[in-house]
Amino acid sequence: MEEPRIGVFVCHCGINIAAYVKVPDLVEYVKQLPNVVHAERNLFTCSEEGVSAIKKGIKEYNLNRVVVASCTPRTHEPLFRAACEEAGLNKYLFEFVNIRDQCSWVHMREPERATEKAKDLIRMGVVKARLLEPLEEIEMKVAPSTLVIGGGVVGMEAALNLAKQDFDVHLVEKEPEFGGTLRSIHKLFQANQEAAKLVKLLVEQVKNHPKIHTHLSSKIKKVTGFIGNFDVNLDEQGEEKKFNVGTIIVAVGAQPLKPTGQYGYGKMANVLTQLELEERMKRGEPLGQNVVMVNCVGARIPERTYCSRICCMTAIKNASLIKESNPKAKVWVLHRDLMTYGVDFESYYRRAMELGVRFIRYSLEKPPEVIGDGKAERIKVYHELWRKEIELPCDMLVLTTPLIPAEDNQDISKMLKVSLDEFGFLLEAHLKLRPVEFAMDGIYICGSARWPTDVTEGVAQAYAAASKAAGPLRMGYVKAEAINAFVNEDECSGCGICELLCPFQAIELQPRDEKRVSHVNEAVCKGCGTCAAACPSSAITMHHFTDEQILAQVEALFSQI
Amino acid sequence: MITLTIDSQKVQVEEGATILEAAQKAGIEIPTLCYHKALTPYGACRLCVVEITSGGRTVTQASCLRKAEEGMEVQNNSERIIRGRKIMIELLLARCPNSEEIQKLAEKLGVKETRLKKKNEDCMLCGLCVRVCHEKMGVAAISFVNRGSRREVKPPFETYSEVCRTCGACATVCPNDAIKIEDVTKNKPILMPSEFNMGLESRHPIYLPFPQAIPKVPVIDPDSCAHFIEGKCKVCENFCGPKAINYDMKEEYLDLNVGAIVLASGLDLYDISKLGEYGYGKIANVITAMEFERLTAASGPTMGELKRPSDGRIPENIAFIQCVGSRDFRNKAYCSSVCCMHATKEAMLAFEHRPGTKSTIFYMDMRAVGKRFQEYIARAKKEYNVTYIRGRPGRIEVNPENDNPVIWYEETISGEVKCFEAELVVLAQAMVPQITDELAKILGIELDEEGFVKIPDKLSQPLNSTRPGVFACGYVHSPRDIPDSVTQASGAAGKAAEELASSRLNRDSQGGK
């Protein structure tokens, strides 16, 4: 192997790193390390200037290894790898040292020690860089079809967008009809469109499109495989079906919380949720002359801290509908902050006030009280702005509750190996940079399954997810990350522990000569390292994280102690 | 091309080049003081004098003035030349003993002290200021006046110049800081505010907008560039190595044939100086949120130090006022959507810059509707010393003793009218869509009453404008933050892809690129 010539680029990251870690000291330190032929610092290595510096450095100093000490591989590893490739270096001869998330950001109050730690981290990175080897990625074909899980408005729109781009779509819905939550909704903000009409229109399009294969009353039993090649097992009305798709979009929606035990819900007949109110309005049932709505029931409380984003508008919409159909009715909306953000919502809120809907601010510490025998008759509430307690007459009490994760989320999470957040909603790869993708390649998310959303935003998300899903479909192939497991077949004893432990079913025993040895499916292997750690014969190495490399890093760390 | 020898080294230059230019090209150092790349050589300082042998004769001449000739032999380091230079620098040191430039050169030449009687001048009569004013600015506001030992640089008739354009070129080019604009004219210079840094610092007529600009190429502002105004200067051209400056560049009109258009022109900041009650523009320590962002940015005018405008002190008590210009019938009736969250972020940032900083956010409704936003607010209250007060301030005054803004507000929860003194006030300015009626007309789309792109069918076609094939995303569509804008961006791309699908399908099939 040629003599390593390592270039180290230490990033200031503006002030994210530089304010806490002495970057010039790091550069001076790095210059003394063996095999480091060039070291420099950049204000923002990820800027055009920084990336050019890497490419220039490689050429000028004839570098054959590059180390960047900056933020996290999650943000810019692809960028720096591409820079290396453009300068003629194999992208796996690049090592990323995280001195931001793992150093400056967590040790803000101890800058001296943070600087020392950064030196340790970079030393370890350089030592590993010395031992890196070039790797090649393999290409895998992508099947030109997508699975959309969830046939609500959002799922249907995603399916239609892909079908119009001439891709096959399997649209799977667990209920006997399409439409999801919108089947229960009465009218939609802004022009009071009937939800049923919107659903009907979409269902017609979906059913008539030749590229969309609909599966109603269907539950997904199993999904195996990887991006480009997912094998789906379906139970469609008792019948087993199988098909193969390239990408998957999850659009399973969410469910409204039923606040049993609160404000008499479940006991008093005239206490409902907003959705139940919608259903009554749809059926044309009488609602009474005095309607009180209480917002944030079960939301923005210590047990469930989040704001469900769309419920203020739902309450205001329903309140406006009641006033429009019965101008003499009295409607109060009790709230703890009105989330009518943006242009349309704010003006709708004003319009509701002009219609005569009354808004009363209450606080978490002094919630409203329901007074009545068998049914809600009066609501007592401490009006925050009048600073006194008032009583409202009540024919119907409507509780505005948040959307909570669908029951399916747990199953989806296990089946597709995607993560959930602390509330149980499905977790996107990155809140800002990858809002409609999962960390798992080839699987995308849209609608309330990720976070409560209304139709307007949900449909935009559906297009976004479809757009992302179409990428690999259109390319026809994807490249598998070369950081994967590698079996030394001579050392392998055929015990099968790795096969049992692999979370992705990426390794299995296969016959070879007279014995059986483990074989890695490089396309599926995610490089997690579980098999390598468990192998009793030490027969498995991880590319780019070999035992030699890791032990060298550990030695480098302790060499200073 | 001419070949000459300098200090036994052969050097090739183009015809017309001076000996000094030839030496610089070859990396041979000849000291200079009154030389400037962009100005005609003057030969005032005599430091660049060299021995020149040409055509059999040997003379000593200023290398900045004498042109290179074929076969010339130049001695830069002979004993005679070095001795001459030392005497020159002693003379200069005697005239301007406090000049750092001359001191540096003296040290380099090995001269520690001058044996001559010291004067106390700043100006060494190098003529750089005069030359730049005449040749480059074309103004000639200053010149050499008087003769002999009374020679100096002044405006004509030794009064203040009326024609001086306060460009500052004389002050910039002077090695000794001997001349200032105030010496030349009573006219006051008007600084060109840096647009990117919200006017918190100035920029030049030729400038790079910001360090991460893409493309990373400087731009010339024709409204303030002397060349475009007077037809003179062009100093930048002299300095540009790759000769990349082209003053004749014109706008190009390109004809593009496309099947879909995505509008993502983003937001603009609403001008809140008309909201007189907040004192923005009058009270120094009342700034906008965007100015706060520039002050705390590492690439900003203060390199990331939150220095308050009046005295540069780091404030430890900051007030943030929400809905400035938003949710306001006199200005913008709508909610700008992102300010509740960015104010909280800014408060937390201030705490990180100066631990212990107390921030108070005056709000109407706390709109934390996105993923993890409520938890962020809770963390701000718990760990970053942020307090939220519900109330919309009516007026900001200033405490003349310390320049602290004083906020008058009604605390709605208690109904009391109170005043709050802060060291810095940050106004969450309203944001508007960045699109003009003219651009909308060119695109053939309609805008709604607030200037956002009109979306006729918000339920089933939320990204479609009034014109088929033109899609909108981001703030120009409706007020939204980064995650929602990124989502809409992918969505608009998806819609555009849908639009183009049929033509692409005819062209390529799945599996090709």
Taking only the tens place, the pLDDT of each residue in B2-44 is 899 999 889 999 999 999 999 998 889 999 999 999 999 999 9
- Per-residue model confidence (pLDDT) at position B189: 86
**Closest residue, chain B, to A347 (C-alpha):** B334
Across-strand partners of B420? Answer: B407
The confidence band for B216, taking pLDDT boundaries of 50, 70 and 90, is confident
CB distance A453 to A309 below 8 Å: yes
Cβ atoms within 10 Å of B180's Cβ, excluding its own: 11
Asked if B352 reaches chain A (Cβ–Cβ under 8 Å), the answer is: yes
- The Cα–Cα gap between A50 and A447 comes to 37
CB distance A487 to A496 below 8 Å: no
Cβ contacts of residue A311 below 8 Å, gap of 6+?
A274, A295, A296, A299, A339, A400, A401, A402, A403, A452
Q: Which long-range contacts (CB under 8 A, 24 or more apart) does B346-349 make?
A: B346/B289, B346/B292, B346/B293, B346/B296, B346/B320, B346/B426, B347/B318, B347/B320, B347/B380, B347/B384, B347/B386, B348/B379, B348/B380, B348/B384, B348/B386, B349/B296
Q: Is the pLDDT of residue B507 over 70?
A: no
ipTM score for this prediction: 0.82
- The Cα–Cα gap between A484 and A498 comes to 14
Q: What is the mean pLDDT of residues A327-337?
A: 96
The percent of residues above 70 in pLDDT, for chain B, comes to 98
3-class DSSP state of A218: strand
- Per-residue model confidence (pLDDT) at position B506: 60
- Per-residue model confidence (pLDDT) at position B511: 40
All residues of chain A having their beta carbon less than 8 Å from the beta carbon of residue B304 are 14-15, 19
Residue in B334, B370, B487 closest to A460 by CB: B487
User: What residues 111-170 of chain A have any CB closer than 8 A to a CB of chain B?
Assistant: 141, 144, 157, 161, 164-166
Cβ atoms within 10 Å of B135's Cβ, excluding its own: 17
Task: For tokens 């190429």, name the residue.
Answer: B217
Mean pLDDT of chain B: 92
pLDDT tens figures, A151-191: 999 999 999 999 999 999 999 999 999 999 999 999 998 78
Task: For tokens 């001195």, name the residue.
Answer: A99
Size of interface A-B (CB pairs under 8 A): 173
3-class DSSP state of A341: coil
Q: Is the pLDDT of residue B512 over 80?
A: no
Task: For tokens 């943006």, name the residue.
Answer: A342
A510, containing H or E segment:
strand A507-512
CA B383 remoteness from chain centre: 36
pLDDT tens figures, B472-493: 999 999 999 999 999 999 999 9
The confidence band for A200, taking pLDDT boundaries of 50, 70 and 90, is very high
pLDDT tens figures, B490-503: 999 999 988 888 78
Question: Which has the closest alpha carbon to B61: B94, B32, B19?
Answer: B19
Residue in B211, B298, B458 closest to A190 by CB: B458
All residues of chain B having their beta carbon less than 8 Å from the beta carbon of residue A337 are 365-367
How near does any CA of chain A get to the CA of B36, in Å? 30
Which residue type does A282 have?
K
- The Cα–Cα gap between A41 and A35 comes to 18
pLDDT tens figures, A516-543: 999 998 878 889 999 999 999 999 999 9
Q: Which two tokens stand for residue A45?
A: 């290595």
- The Cα–Cα gap between B206 and B220 comes to 4
The confidence band for B508, taking pLDDT boundaries of 50, 70 and 90, is low
Verify cis geometry, omega within 30 degrees of 0, for the bond prior to B215: yes
In order of A90, A505, B405, the CA distances from A526 in angstroms are 20, 10, 57
Residue in A193, A421, A460 closest to B463 by CB: A460
**Closest residue, chain A, to B493 (C-alpha):** A467
Mean pLDDT of chain A: 94
Length in residues, chain A: 561
Which residue type does B307 have?
K
Asked if A110 reaches chain B (Cβ–Cβ under 8 Å), the answer is: no
3-class DSSP state of B270: coil
pLDDT tens figures, B66-99: 999 999 999 999 999 999 999 999 999 999 999 9
- The Cα–Cα gap between B456 and A55 comes to 48
Q: Which two tokens stand for residue A471?
A: 């990428």
Asked if B337 reaches chain A (Cβ–Cβ under 8 Å), the answer is: yes
pTM of the model: 0.83
> CA angle, corner A369, sides to A365 and A375, nearest 5?
155
Task: For tokens 């990336």, name the residue.
Answer: A51
Are A350 and B513 inside 8 Å of each other by CB?
no
- Per-residue model confidence (pLDDT) at position B157: 86
B489, containing H or E segment:
helix B482-507
Asked if A305 reaches chain B (Cβ–Cβ under 8 Å), the answer is: yes
- The Cα–Cα gap between A372 and B389 comes to 35
Across-strand partners of A430? Answer: A434
Where does residue B309 rank: exposed (0-12), middle (13-18), buried (19+ CB within 10 A)?
A: middle
Q: What are phi and psi of A360, to 5 degrees?
A: -120, 125
Length in residues, chain B: 513
- The Cα–Cα gap between A240 and B102 comes to 92
Q: Is the pLDDT of residue B375 over 90?
A: yes
Which segments of A87-190 does DSSP mark as H helices, in order?
111-131, 153-164
**Closest residue, chain B, to A192 (C-alpha):** B459
Spell out the SS3 assignment of A448-481. Answer: HHCCCCCHHHHHHHHHHHHHHHHHHHHHCEEEEC
Question: Which has the closest alpha carbon to A205: A179, A173, A236?
Answer: A179
pLDDT tens figures, B300-313: 899 889 999 999 99
In order of B17, B126, B128, B132, B240, the CA distances from B37 in angstroms are 12, 14, 11, 11, 11
Residue in B366, B462, B501 closest to A337 by CB: B366
Q: Is the pLDDT of residue B513 over 80?
A: no
> CA angle, corner A353, sides to A347 and A355, nearest 5?
105
Asked if B384 reaches chain A (Cβ–Cβ under 8 Å), the answer is: no
- The Cα–Cα gap between A189 and A393 comes to 27
- The Cα–Cα gap between A315 and A331 comes to 11
3-class DSSP state of B393: coil
CB distance A463 to B490 below 8 Å: yes
Kindly write down the DSSP assignment for every residue of B296-324, as one continuous string: HSTTSTTTT----TTT-PPPSEEEEEEEE
- The Cα–Cα gap between A429 and A432 comes to 9
User: What residues 62-91 of chain B have any CB closer than 8 A to a CB of chain A?
Assistant: none
The residue with greater pLDDT, A248 or B114, is: A248
pLDDT tens figures, B95-118: 999 999 999 999 999 998 889 999
CB distance A486 to A188 below 8 Å: no
Spell out the SS3 assignment of B182-250. Answer: HHHCCCCCCCCECCCCCCCCECCCEECCCCCCCCCCCEECCCCCHHHHHCCCCHHHHHCCCCCCCCCCC
- The Cα–Cα gap between B329 and B321 comes to 17
Alpha-carbon dihedral of residues B279, B281, B287, B293, nearest 10 degrees?
160
Across-strand partners of A405? Answer: A254
pLDDT tens figures, A401-419: 999 999 989 999 999 989 9
Question: Which has the closest alpha carbon to B429: B325, B347, B330?
Answer: B325
CB distance B353 to B293 below 8 Å: no
How near does any CA of chain B get to the CA of A470, in Å? 8
Q: Which long-range contacts (CB under 8 A, 24 or more apart) does A281-288 make?
A: A281/A186, A281/A187, A281/A318, A281/A321, A281/A322, A282/A184, A282/A186, A282/A196, A287/A322, A287/A326, A287/A329, A287/A395, A287/A396, A288/A329, A288/A395, A288/A396
